[in-house]
Amino acid sequence: MAMDTGAFLSKLEMVTTSDHSSVVSMNLFVALLCACIVIGHLLEENRWMNESITALAIGLGTGIVILLTTGGKSSHLLVFSEDLFFIYLLPPIIFNAGFQVKKKQFFRNFMTIMLFGAVGTLISFAIISLGAIHFFQKMNIGSLKIGDILAIGAIFSATDSVCTLQVLNQDETPLLYSLVFGEGVVNDATSVVLFNAIQSFDLYHIDSVIALQFIGSFLYLFITSTMLGVLAGLLSAFMIKKLYFGRHSTDREVALMILMAYLSYMLAELFYLSAILTVFFCGIVMSHYTWHNVTESSRVTTKHAFATLSFVAEIFIFLYVGMDALDIDKWRFISDSPGKSVGVSSILLGLVLVGRAAFVFPLSFLSNLTKNSPHDRISLKQQVTIWWAGLMRGAVSMALAYNQFTRSGHTQLHLNAIMITSTISVVLFSTVVRNHFISL
Amino acid sequence: MAMDTGAFLSKLEMVTTSDHSSVVSMNLFVALLCACIVIGHLLEENRWMNESITALAIGLGTGIVILLTTGGKSSHLLVFSEDLFFIYLLPPIIFNAGFQVKKKQFFRNFMTIMLFGAVGTLISFAIISLGAIHFFQKMNIGSLKIGDILAIGAIFSATDSVCTLQVLNQDETPLLYSLVFGEGVVNDATSVVLFNAIQSFDLYHIDSVIALQFIGSFLYLFITSTMLGVLAGLLSAFMIKKLYFGRHSTDREVALMILMAYLSYMLAELFYLSAILTVFFCGIVMSHYTWHNVTESSRVTTKHAFATLSFVAEIFIFLYVGMDALDIDKWRFISDSPGKSVGVSSILLGLVLVGRAAFVFPLSFLSNLTKNSPHDRISLKQQVTIWWAGLMRGAVSMALAYNQFTRSGHTQLHLNAIMITSTISVVLFSTVVRNHFISL
């Protein structure tokens, strides 16, 4: 056939090993993904393991093998890019979460989720930023600009919703799942507003006008992002209902749903909105309206195809993170000043714990005041789980922190190394105590 | 949430318009894909239109708009790369063709398909190469090396199986579909062997030893590629049956099937085999064995998810080709010597016609001798259709020729421009007479 002919010609033309070595890594990566699925399934009944930890472990193992065979030069198979992550891996995960979320549970707790996601994140942000300024000056770890400190505050005050999906189970703990995951989605909007504020407002002169501006821009961002997702969902429902009336085509319906959901995500990126919020609400609306207008086979296909996409994307991330954890540069950096690194990561972890405690318990108390039936209230045990589950820093935070902080100067590289060591500890630790959560 | 935070930071950090403009193009491209699906569906009952032509037309329209808005600088939205095509778009199309092919029909005509794909392609290759040498010397279009001429022969002697899928309908003309599409898949292996031969054998001294070597390497390539695909398919069936016995998980099954199929394609690329042949047979085996070992919902999901992937990939190609057709450089080049371009493309088209006629009719006659029932024989009308349908040069050939010939020198650029003008004419023409085929 004409096409492969050309592929072959180009292969002969280049004769570059770089092209062929990228084929080698893709093969290895796909084979490892298969291995993760099979081994993860076999280990499913083991209470200490799940697919993410399997992927993490296999990634670590592969990293070690690659390190040894390349003589310590590299532990990577693929170069991780932010684009790959934010444009291809994250959208299916968040969309599927919206698509499969228990809507009744989610909307019943909507006010509590908003409280946690908006007010709670601000409280946490303030505490972490102030604490970081206080402790880092004492530790003398180099000159950190006020913007850097606030960025740390913003990154650490936000929960990692992909990790939450791994830790909490929707069927076993529906209330906790909707609260913690919902908070993760809503506080994405808060983070975007926070970063806007850090960049554009004069932070040394905070007065009531700026506070109002801040609230205004949060509401604007939250409402526009949500509306965009809802509109995309409704539009897909309308198109499928109106245009395809009388003659359905499963392939076209499924393709339209996927493309419209993806379009909503990319449009939100285009207008600097919170793409996560948009695609999450798009998923909710699609599962509520569009899904009921398609054929039976489209329903089965979308339900499983979206779950599969999200499943593979998650494994992909964990596999990568496992390999990335061995990146030799990071460890070399840490080994220069191990004491300081442990100190900084403990302080950050401590601040995150205090910051979350400072809003989970008071806001849960407030939320409980508005509930009449004791069934709807958040018990103290559940509050502890929310406090703890929101601490999870998983693949996403790690990949992000890595991509975020390596571009700038020396201090950042140090922070990066610290971020990664603390993240790996937290991810491993949180999975070990995972079954404890579920029994709560 | 921590992640979008970072996306936002990075946006602020870069402030580059290039990054944002790529988001703009992705939005536009996804929106255009949606438009193609909706408009293609609306126009479905129009006998002159189908989804590919809609995509081609929308691509052309968008190309014009972009040309006008950028002041004639560019008609592209995305930069087309061979990688994008061979690593992401082609595998789902060929795999789905194998997955949905009518196996009974395919294997009943297996010998005829092999005759067409192997012997036929060689006859066609010889005629086109010899004809090109003869006519191009007379026309004085610049110095073409013997290797270039043979490359042209190899590219033009191979049919474009993606285009065949668009032109022939499996349900309406099962015999023709299996013959023409099967030929397209098998002659991929022939092409790879041909290119190998062009590179490694001394073509001025062809004797019986070289001919035997050639046959040997074709058989080796065909058998190894097929076996790899069959093995990957059987392995997936075995894994799903053995490991998942008693507790099925639809998401895992679907993910494993997709990943294993993709792995077979990439492994074939790795070992310089015919990846198209491999993934095609992997699709056949998966639909025959694996598919019967999975849950009912996995069956529905895979059937439609694979078809959807293939459908979107095809539209993507046609949309791109539509935009690419307006690439200003190509037309500028042609306008320097319009007479010569028309001459070369007519000669090539004529050679392709003669080359196909030289094997379709004799080989069909041979094939008919072996068939007992008149029902299985290839009628003269069907022979004409096979002759004609194999001429189709679609999106794939075009994208390929473009990517292939622009790298090298001046002559190649000229050939490229000619390829594209003739391809567009053939694609449009073949679609207009599409309904005529089906009525045959």
Token code pair at residue B238: 């075995």
Looking at residue B13, what is its pLDDT? 37
Which of B5, B26, B162 has its CB closest to that of A195? B5
Which of A4, A259, A274 has its CB closest to that of B4? A274
| Model confidence band, residue A13 (pLDDT cutoffs 50, 70, 90) | very low
How many whole angstroms separate alpha carbon B355 and alpha carbon B357?
6
Complex ipTM, two decimals?
0.81
* Domain extent for B277: 82-439
Q: Do A86 and B3 touch (CB under 8 A)?
A: yes
How many whole angstroms separate alpha carbon A339 and alpha carbon A294?
59
With respect to residue A11, please indicate whether it lies within any of the assigned structural domains.
no
The predicted model gives A168-178 an average pLDDT of: 78
Q: Which amino acid makes up residue B181?
A: F
Cβ proximity of A85 and A351 under 8 Å: no
Looking at residue A265, what is its pLDDT? 94
Looking at residue B438, what is its pLDDT? 44
Distance from CA of A30 to the nearest CA of B (A): 6
The helix (run of H) or strand (run of E) holding residue B389 is: helix B380-389
With respect to residue B74, please indicate whether it lies within any of the assigned structural domains.
no
Mean pLDDT in order along chain B per 10 residues (440 residues) = 39 43 85 89 69 80 82 63 76 87 84 87 87 79 66 72 68 80 78 68 67 82 91 93 73 92 93 87 92 89 92 84 67 64 75 87 88 80 81 56 48 57 59 47
Looking at residue B257, what is its pLDDT? 93
Domain with residue B275: its CATH number is 1.20.1530.20
Contacts of B308 in chain A (CB under 8 A): 250-251, 254-255, 258, 301, 305
Which of B254, B276, B308 has its CB closest to that of A255? B308
Could you tell me the CA-to-CA distances from B92 to A128, B88, B97, B138, B364 in Å, in that order?
Answer: 48, 7, 8, 43, 31
Q: Which of 83-142 (B) contact A at CB < 8 A?
A: 85-87, 90
**Residues B65 and B112 occupy one common structural domain:** no
Looking at residue B33, what is its pLDDT? 92
Cβ proximity of B142 and B337 under 8 Å: no
Q: Do A1 and B401 touch (CB under 8 A)?
A: no
**Residues B59 and B116 occupy one common structural domain:** no
Condensed to tens digits (0 to 9), the pLDDT of residues A42-74 reads 877 665 566 777 887 888 888 888 878 877 666
Looking at residue A308, what is its pLDDT? 92
Condensed to tens digits (0 to 9), the pLDDT of residues A123-168 reads 888 898 888 888 877 776 655 666 667 777 777 777 766 666 666 7
With respect to residue A186, please indicate whether it lies within any of the assigned structural domains.
yes
**Residues B132 and B38 occupy one common structural domain:** no
Weakest mean pLDDT among A345-349, A419-423, B48-52: A419-423
Q: Which amino acid makes up residue A164?
A: T
How many whole angstroms separate alpha carbon B360 and alpha carbon A247?
39
Q: Of the candidates B69, B97, B131, which is a domain's last residue?
A: B69
Q: Do B297 and A276 touch (CB under 8 A)?
A: no
Number of residue pairs across A and B with CB atoms under 8 Å? 269
Looking at residue A258, what is its pLDDT? 94
**Residues B34 and B95 occupy one common structural domain:** no
Cβ proximity of A438 and A361 under 8 Å: no
| Model confidence band, residue A98 (pLDDT cutoffs 50, 70, 90) | confident
The predicted model gives A347-357 an average pLDDT of: 84
Distance from CA of B159 to the nearest CA of A (A): 5
> Does position A436 have pLDDT exceeding 50, yes or no?
no
User: Which are the contacts of B336, defined by CB distance < 8 A and separation ≥ 6?
Assistant: none
Q: Of the candidates B69, B98, B133, which is a domain's last residue?
A: B69
Looking at residue B3, what is its pLDDT? 38
Percent of the residues in chain A that have a pLDDT greater than 90, as a whole number: 14
**Residues B243 and B290 occupy one common structural domain:** yes
Could you tell me the CA-to-CA distances from A85 to A92, A317, A322, B7, B17 in Å, in that order?
Answer: 11, 8, 15, 10, 20
With respect to residue B8, please indicate whether it lies within any of the assigned structural domains.
no
Looking at residue A74, what is its pLDDT? 64
More confident position, A400 or B392? B392
More confident position, A403 or B191? B191
Looking at residue A414, what is its pLDDT? 60
The predicted model gives A211-218 an average pLDDT of: 80
Token code pair at residue B9: 């930071």
User: What's B406's DSSP letter?
Assistant: S
Residue holding tokens 């094939």? B367
Cβ proximity of A414 and A141 under 8 Å: yes
With respect to residue B2, please indicate whether it lies within any of the assigned structural domains.
no
Q: Which amino acid makes up residue B216?
A: G
More confident position, B16 or A326? A326
With respect to residue B225, please indicate whether it lies within any of the assigned structural domains.
yes
Instruction: Give the other-Cβ count within 10 Å of B65's Cβ.
Output: 12
Q: Closest by alpha carbon to A394, among A181, A236, A130?
A: A181
**Residues B39 and B148 occupy one common structural domain:** no
Weakest mean pLDDT among A51-65, A277-291, A383-397, B29-43: A383-397
With respect to residue B76, please indicate whether it lies within any of the assigned structural domains.
no
With respect to residue B293, please indicate whether it lies within any of the assigned structural domains.
yes
- Torsion sign across C-alpha atoms A235, A238, A241, A242: negative
Q: Which of 327-386 (B) contact A at CB < 8 A?
A: none
- Burial profile B301-332: b = 16 or more Cβ within 10 angstroms, e = fewer: bbbbbbbbbbbbbbbbbbbbbbbbbbbeebee
**Residues B219 and B92 occupy one common structural domain:** yes
Distance from CA of B176 to the nearest CA of A (A): 17
Of chain A, the end-to-end C-alpha distance in Å amounts to 60
Count of domains observed in chain A: 1
* pTM for this predicted structure: 0.82
How many whole angstroms separate alpha carbon B179 and alpha carbon B440?
15
User: What's A408's DSSP letter?
Assistant: S
Looking at residue A400, what is its pLDDT? 52
Distance from CA of A252 to the nearest CA of B (A): 7
Weakest mean pLDDT among A293-297, A324-328, B409-413: B409-413
Looking at residue B206, what is its pLDDT? 64
More confident position, A398 or A164? A164
CB contact, 8 Å: B409 with chain A? no
Looking at residue B278, what is its pLDDT? 92
